[in-house]
Structure 1
Amino acid sequence: MLDQNKFDGDDPYYPARNLSYVVGKGGRLRRHRYLGELRSFLWPTVVAAALIGAVYVSTITRFGRNDWSNILLAVAVLTSVPLGSALILAGLRRHSSAIFTAALVTIGLLSTAVTVLSALRLPISYQGIMLAAPILIMAMAYANLRFQRTFRAHVVLAAFNNAGEVSTELGSIPIVEADAGNLEDAEILLIDPQTHHSEAWSKVLATCYLRGIEIMPWSAYREILLGRLEVKSFEVSHLAYTPSQVFYTRCKRLLDIIIVLATLPITVPIALLVMGYIGLRDGFPVIFVQDRRGYGGKSFRMYKLRTMYNGTEGGSTTVSDSRIIPGCNLIRKLRFDELPQLYNILRGDMSLIGPRPVAEYVAESSAALEPKYGLRSLVLPGITGWAQVRSGYAATPEEEIEKLSYDLYYIKHLSVDLDIYIVFKTIRTVLFGAGR
C-alpha cells in the first residue's frame, strides 16, 4: 500500500517529474533495443546511399547538367530514403516477409522523395532515379533479411531437464529458475513449451508479458540462430506450408526457366570459353556426366564441365588436388563448372536453388547411417542451396548428415525470401571463398 504522506509538497517525489518513485517501488525501465537493432542496417544503408548518389550523379551529368546546387539537393533527398527505410524496418522485428516488407517501405519512401523534389520544382533525372531504384531496393531487402535472421538481444533460457545441453549448444546463454526477479536484464526468454506452460511458471510468463520480454520456444530460437533442424526429431508431419509458400513453389519452376533463358547470352559464351580452355589443356570430352540422386529419390544424369584430368574423376577433392587441371581451381571457385546444369534445370531435373544433388553412392552410404537422409529429396535439387552457404564441404557420411540438418531447414522454411538470401550468400561465397 502506498504511503499517502509521500505526496505532500515537501517530498522530493512531488510533483512527479520522472518515474523514479515508480522504479523505487519495484517498477522497471525497459532497455532501449531500437538503437541496437538499427546498427544491423548501418553498412547496407551507407552502401545503398553511396551507390544511389553515384548512379544519379553519373546519369544526370552525362547530359551536360552542371547546376550542382540542384543536383546535390536532389542527391541529399534521395540518399535519405535508405536511412528512412532503415529507421522503419528496424522497428519491425519478427515478420516472415522480409523482402516484400523492405520493398514496400523503400518504394513508398522513394515515391515520397520524388514527390518532394517535384514539389520543390527541381529539375530531376527520372532516368537516374529509375536506375538507382533497383540498387536501393536490393540493398534494403538484403539488410532486412540479415536483420530478421540475427539476434542482438539479451537472451536467457528457462530451466528444465535438458537446459544445460541446450544452453551450451546456443552459446552458453544464462539459465534462469522459476523466479521473475532474475529476469532483470532479459529481453528474450526461451522456454520449453511442454515444461513451462504450467502453473509453476505462470507467474514468470505473465511477468515477461507485462514487462515486454519476448517469449520464444528454444527450438524456434535454435532454428533461426543456427539455420538448421534437429534431424533425429524431425518428421514430415512437422511441415505446415503457408499459402504464400504453396504459391511460390508453383511459380518457382517458371522462374527457374525464365532466369536460365534470360542469362543465356552471358552463361553460354562463358561456358564455351571454359570448354575451349579445358579442351586445349586436356583434350575432349570436356563434359563430365554422373548419376545423382534427384527429386523423389529418382536418379538423373547431371552434367558438369570436367575440371580434372581424363580418367581421374570421382571422389572427394581438395584445392591442392593433383588431379585438377591447372587453372581449373579458379573455374571451380567461380562455379563455372556448374554451367551445364542449366540444361538440367530446363529438363526439370534441377532447380536453381535447392539441396545439392549427391552421387548415388553418397546417398546410399548416408541413408544407411541416417534413414531420414532421403527426406532431402522432397524438393528439387539445386545448383546452390542453404547447406552449401552455411556449412563446408562434406567429405564423410557423418558430415553429410550434418548438412542434412540444413537441407531440412530449407525444406521447412522454403520461400522467396530464403531463396534470395541464398543467392546473396552464394555470391559472397564465390567472391570470398566462405563455405563451398
Structure 2
Amino acid sequence: MSQTRQSQNGLQAVIDLGARRRAHNNVLLIKAALPATISAALLAFAIYVLVMVSADRVDWHNILPVGLVVAMVPAIAVSLLVIASRRNHPFSMAVAVTVFALSFAISILAATRIPVSFVGIALTIPSTLLCVTLANLAMARSLSRRACLLDFPGAAAVAQKLDGRVQVVSPEEIGPDIRRVLIDPAFHHSAEWAPVLARLYTRGLEMEAWPRYLETYAGRVDIDSFELADVSYSPSQIFYYRFKRVVDLVGVLVLAVPVLVVGGLLWLYIRLVDGGPSFFIQERRGYGGGTFRLYKFRTMYKNADGASTSANDSRVLPGCHLVRQLRLDELPQLINIARGEMSFIGPRPVSVAIAEALEARIPQYINRSILLPGLTGWAQVSHGYAETQDEEIEKLSYDLYYLKHVSFDLDVIISVRTIKTLLLRKGAR
C-alpha cells in the first residue's frame, strides 16, 4: 500500500484518495461564445477588405495581413472576457476588452510597418462590439444554466417560478456540471447546514440566495419584500445617472431636426383630419411625486372618452393607428426631456389619477417617482401596455428592478429592445 502511494505524486494522489477535481468553465464558455466570435471575425475581415477594394487598393500583400489581424480582435476580446469572468455588465465589458484588443492589434501592425487604413479599421468596430456583446451574453446564459436549487421545504414552488429550468437536488446529488448552488436564505443559514455549505464552497461552487437569482432571471423584484434600504449603488451607477442628463440633452439636439420635420407633418395631418388642437396635454406624475404637463400628438377624435385604449379602437383617427404603433405620437415629449421633466429612459409616467389610486393601494408605488420618468423604460419593454391597476402593479415590479439595477448596460438593453419593439410594432394600441 505504501509503495502504491509513493508511486503517485502531487495532487493526483489526493484525488485518488477521495478529493474532487474542480470542473473548468473555460471550455463551456468558449463553446457558447464561438458562433458570435466567428461571426465577428468574418465580418471584420470582410468589412476591411471591402473598404480597401472600394478605395481601389490592390496591394493584397498588405490588405490581407491587416484583415487577418483585425479579424483576430474579436477572438482576443472574447478570450479576455473568459479570463475576466465578468458577466454583469455585458456591453461595458465588451467595449473595454474590444478597445484593449484593438489597441493591441494596432500596436502589432505599427511594429511591422504595414500600411493600414484607420477608416477601414474604425468601420469594423460596430459589428465587433455587437458580436462581442452577444458572445458575453451567451456565456452568461451558459453559466446560468449550470445552477441547481438545494432542497428545502418549498423548493418545488421556487423551481416552478424558474420555469423548471433549475433542478432541485440534495447535497449528494450535485454533479461536476453544476457551477452555482441556489440556497434558501432562511432555511439554509443555520448551524445544521453550515458545514454542508462550507464543503460545497470549498469545491469551487458559488452560493447564491434563490430570491436574488430569481430577480435576475425574471428581470423584476418581489414588491412585497422590496426595501429601499436594501438598494446599494456602486460609484459607477451614481456617476452614470448624473451623466444621463448630458446624454439626454445630446440626444435631443441630435434628434431635433428629424423630429421637427416628422412632427410638423403630423401636426398638419391631424389638423386637416379633425381640426385643432394637434397636441394632447395631460398632467402626469413626475420626479419626486410632483406633476408635470406631458405633451403628445392627439391621435383620437376630439372629445373622446378617457377609457383605456383597446386594439383597433374606433376613437383613433384614420391613419393614426400606425402613428401609435411607431410611437410617433410621443415625439413632443422631447420638449419634456429638454426641460428636465423626463429622461429618454426611466419609469413611464402615469396620469395623476392613476398614480394617486395606486399609491393609496400599494405604498411601494411611490418609489418609482424617485427616478426621472422616461420616454421608454424597463417595464415598457418587458411588460408592455397595462390596461388595469393589477397590470400597473405588475409593471411596478419591473420599474423597481430598474431603480435597483440602473446602469449604462441596462439602458443599452432597453434601447435595443425599444428599437425592436418599434420595428415589430408591438405593444402600442
Same fold, judged at TM 0.5 (above): yes
2:71 to 74, 79, 92: 79
**Match of residue 176, structure 1, among 153, 169, 188:** 169
* CA-based RMSD: 2.8
Match of 2:358 in 1: 366
What's 1:328 paired with?
Answer: 320
CA distance 1:333–1:91, shift in 2 (3 Å)? farther
1:353 aligns with 2:360: no
Residue 67 of structure 1 pairs with residue 59 of structure 2: yes
Who is 2:103 aligned against?
Answer: 111
Q: Is the 8 A contact 1:77 1:113 kept in 2?
A: yes
- Mark the CA change 1:287 to 1:41 in structure 2 (over 3 Å): closer, same or farther: farther
Cα displacement string for residues 172-220 of structure 1 (whole angstroms, at most 9, x for unaligned residues): 332234xx32212432111123332322112221222222111111121
Q: Say which is worse superposed, 360-369 or 199-208, in terms of deviation.
A: 360-369
Amino acid at match of 1:308: M
The corresponding residue for 2:2 is 4
The question of whether the paired residues in 1 share the 8 Å contact of 2:267 and 2:278 is answered with yes
- In structure 2, the partner of 1:252 is 244
Match of 1:38 in 2: 30
CA contact (8 A) 1:350 1:383 kept: yes
Q: Given the superposition, is the C-alpha separation of residues 280 and 57 from structure 1 closer, same or farther in structure 2, using an over 3 Å criterion?
A: farther
1:423 to 410, 415, 418: 415
Bigger shift: residues 160-169 or 395-404: 160-169
1:197-208 to 2 correspondences below 5 Å: 197-208=189-200
Q: For 2:32 and 2:310, how far apart are their aligned partners in 1?
A: 35
In 2: Cα distance, 1:154 partner to 1:271 partner = 50
Matches of 1:336 and 1:108 in 2, distance apart? 39
Question: Is contact 1:296–1:378 with CA below 8 Å preserved after alignment?
Answer: yes
Which whole-Å CA distance do the structure 1 matches of 2:302 and 2:65 have between them? 62
Question: Contact 2:95/2:129 (CA < 8 Å) preserved in 1?
Answer: yes
Answer whether contact 1:55 1:132 (CA < 8 A) is retained. Answer: yes
**What per-residue deviation string (whole Å, max 9, x for no partner) do you get for residues 121-177 of structure 1?**
332211222233344335434653565577443222223343232222122332234
Contact 2:86 2:93 in 1 (8 A): no
| Equivalent in 222, 226, 242 of residue 234 of structure 1 | 226
Q: Deviations over 1:63-89 (max 9, x none)?
A: 221234432332222122112212321
In structure 1, how many angstroms separate the alpha carbons of the residues matched to 2:291 and 2:85?
42
Distance in 1 of aligned mates of 2:297 and 2:36: 36
CA deviation map 1:309-360 (0-9, x unaligned):
3333643223422222333333223222211111001111101110001122
Q: Decide which of 252, 264, 279 is 1:287's aligned counterpart.
A: 279
Call closer, same or farther: CA 1:420–1:217 in 2, change over 3 Å: same
Cα offset for 1:303? Answer: 0.8
CA shift, 1:418, in A, is 1.4
Residue 303 (structure 2) aligns with: 311
- How many residues matched? 426
Kept after mapping to 2: 8 A contact 1:229/1:406:
yes
Whole-angstrom distance in 2 between the partners of 1:267 and 1:36: 46
Specify the alignment match of 1:11 in structure 2: none
Q: Equivalents in 1 of 2:265, 2:344: separation in Å?
A: 22
Post-superposition CA distance 1:31-50 (Å, at most 9, x none): 44333333554554455445
Cα deviation for residue 90 of structure 1 reads: 3.3
Q: Report whether the alignment pairs 1:137 with 2:129.
A: yes
Identity of aligned residues (%): 43
Task: Give distance in 1, aligned partners of 2:262 and 2:222.
Answer: 40
Q: Residues 394 and 162 of structure 1: is their aligned pair in 2 closer, same or farther, counting only changes over 3 Å?
A: same
SS at match of 1:194: coil
| Contact 1:107/1:137, CA 8 A, preserved across alignment | no
What SS does the corresponding residue of 2:308 show, helix, strand or coil? coil
| Partner residue in 2 for 1:190 | 182
Tell me what 1:102 maps to.
94
Is the contact between residue 389 and residue 434 of structure 1 (CA under 8 Å) also seen in structure 2?
no
Give the AA of the match of 1:256.
Answer: D
Structure 1 SS opposite 2:192: helix
Q: TM-score, normalised by structure 2?
A: 0.89
CA spacing shift, 1:283–1:148, aligned 2, 3 Å: farther
Q: Is the 8 A contact 1:106 1:137 kept in 2?
A: yes
Q: What SS does the corresponding residue of 1:256 show, helix, strand or coil? A: helix
Indicate yes or no: 2:154 matched with 1:162. Answer: yes
Structure 1 residue runs without a partner (length 5+): 9-13
Determine if contact 1:291/1:302 at 8 Å carries over to the other structure.
Answer: yes
Amino acid at match of 1:427: I
Q: CA offset at residue 300 of structure 1?
A: 1.2
- Give the Cα–Cα distance (whole angstroms) in 1 for the partners of residues 56 and 310 of structure 2: 54
Q: Which residue of 2 aligns with 1:342?
A: 334
In the alignment, the residues of structure 1 paired with residue 136 and residue 264 of structure 2 have an alpha-carbon distance, to the nearest angstrom, of: 38
Range 312-321 or range 189-198, more displaced = 312-321
Whichever residue aligns with residue 117 of structure 1, its letter is L
**One-letter identity of the residue aligned with 2:168:** I
For residues 53 and 17 of structure 2, what CA distance do their matches in structure 1 show? 64
Name the TM-score, length of structure 1 as normaliser.
Answer: 0.88
Letter in 2 for 1:377: S
Deviation, structure 1 residue 59: 2.9
1 CA distance for matches of 2:395 and 2:142?
Answer: 21
- Greater shift in the superposed pair: 124-133 or 404-413: 124-133
**Distance in 2 of aligned mates of 1:216 and 1:367:** 33
Please give the secondary structure, in 2, of the residue aligned with 1:410.
Answer: helix
Q: Please list the CA deviations of residues 354-407 of structure 1 after superposition, one character each: whole Å capped at 9, or x if unmatched.
A: 000112222233233322111111111000111111113211111111110110
Q: 1:124 to 1:363 in 2, by over 3 A?
A: same
More off after superposition, 368-377 vs 306-315: 306-315
TM-aligned CA deviation for residue 26 of structure 1:
3.2
1:327/1:184 CA distance change after superposition, 3 Å: same
Q: 3-state SS of the aligned residue for 1:90?
A: helix
Residue aligning to 2:209: 217
